[in-house]
Amino acid sequence: MKRTASFFLLLTVTVLCVWGALASGAGANRDLERLLPLSLDVIDGPVRVVVKHISPYKPHAGEDAFLETGRRLSERLGLPPAELRSGGDHILYKASGPDSGGIRRTLLWVMFPDGSTELIVSAETPESGDTGTGGEAASRMEAAQTKLSRVLEGMGVTPNWNVIVQGKLKADYAAADKLNGWLQAELRAEAIESYDDGRSVSVSYASPLLEASVQSGGRMLNLQAAVHRSSETGESRLTLGTPVITTEY
């Protein structure tokens, strides 16, 4: 399902701000350790992995001070300095670069008209899809996440990690009941909500084995699974997110 960058920025800020009060950094670390190796059972080929933190940060008055602080944050994260961008009614500071293991780290800091700000820090596997074996991918992402967590903690910010795993769904799991059965067996996942627009199917689950959570309709959800079928290739792409998916699927 395709959405604009602005849509996902607003979705991320809205959903994860609520989730931030419910999840813990340590729990999200365990979610990555659990979800990534399992996903290799159902994903065929390269796996895209994203870990993302979002939280409110220090309010700022004026673009100059916002830019100066953004560049200090870049330095703390080991990223190159960047310039401000206009996002309509908000201002963006975005810096990005790879770490020594090839994991791309990104700082996205957003200032709104009232001076409030949102801090988004993420790490993602290389665009080439060269993640190595499942164990190597898990090790590299966990190392990157741990380093970013330490930086956030040094800034007085409690890390709350959203985990996204994405890749080509194996043909054996293309049927919805087969994938649902796998999630039930591996994660004791109970389907709570679902959405189907004809090309994409999304299901939200509760799982006692995952620790990140968000509340919806009085229920706590821990996992979202979405399958999108390409009209061009006929292939299906699987996206798994804890507690929700905050990227295109």
Q: What is the pLDDT of residue 134?
A: 54
Q: What is the pLDDT of residue 149?
A: 93
Tens digit of each residue's pLDDT (9 = 90 or more) over 189-218: 999 999 998 789 999 999 999 989 998 888
Rounded to whole angstroms, the Cα distance separating 81 from 94 reads 9
What's the burial of 198, exposed, middle or buried (CB within 10 Å: 0-12/13-18/19+)?
exposed
Rounded to whole angstroms, the Cα distance separating 242 from 161 reads 9
Lowest mean pLDDT among 26-30, 169-173, 228-232: 26-30
**Average pLDDT score over residue span 144-155:** 92
Is residue 225 scored above 60 in pLDDT? yes
Tens digit of each residue's pLDDT (9 = 90 or more) over 73-118: 999 999 999 999 988 889 999 999 998 878 999 999 999 999 999 9
**Average pLDDT score over residue span 5-12:** 44
Tens digit of each residue's pLDDT (9 = 90 or more) over 24-62: 444 456 888 889 889 999 999 888 999 999 899 999 888
**Average pLDDT score over residue span 64-80:** 95
What is the rounded average pLDDT for all residues in the chain?
85
Q: What is the pLDDT of residue 222?
A: 95
**Average pLDDT score over residue span 226-248:** 90
Q: What is the pLDDT of residue 233?
A: 85
Tens digit of each residue's pLDDT (9 = 90 or more) over 125-135: 875 455 555 55
pTM reported for the whole predicted model: 0.83
Name residues whose C-beta falls within 8 Å of residue 26's C-beta, 6 or more positions apart in sequence.
211
Rounded to whole angstroms, the Cα distance separating 122 from 127 reads 14
Rounded to whole angstroms, the Cα distance separating 155 from 169 reads 39
Is residue 154 scored above 90 in pLDDT? yes
Buried b (16+ CB within 10 A) or exposed e, 7-23: eebeebbebbeebbeeb
What is the full DSSP assignment across the chain? ----HHHHHHHHHHHHHHHHTT--HHHHHHHHHHHHHHHTTTB-S--EEEEEEEEEE----SHHHHHHHHHHHHHHHT-----EEE-SSSEEEEEEEE-TTS-EEEEEEEE-TTS-EEEEEEEE--TT----SHHHHHHHHHHHHHHHHHHHHHTT----EEEEEEEEBPGGG-SHHHHHHHHHHHH--EEEEEEE-SSEEEEEEE-TT----EEETTEEE-EEEEEEE-TTT--EEEEEEES---S--
**Average pLDDT score over residue span 155-180:** 92
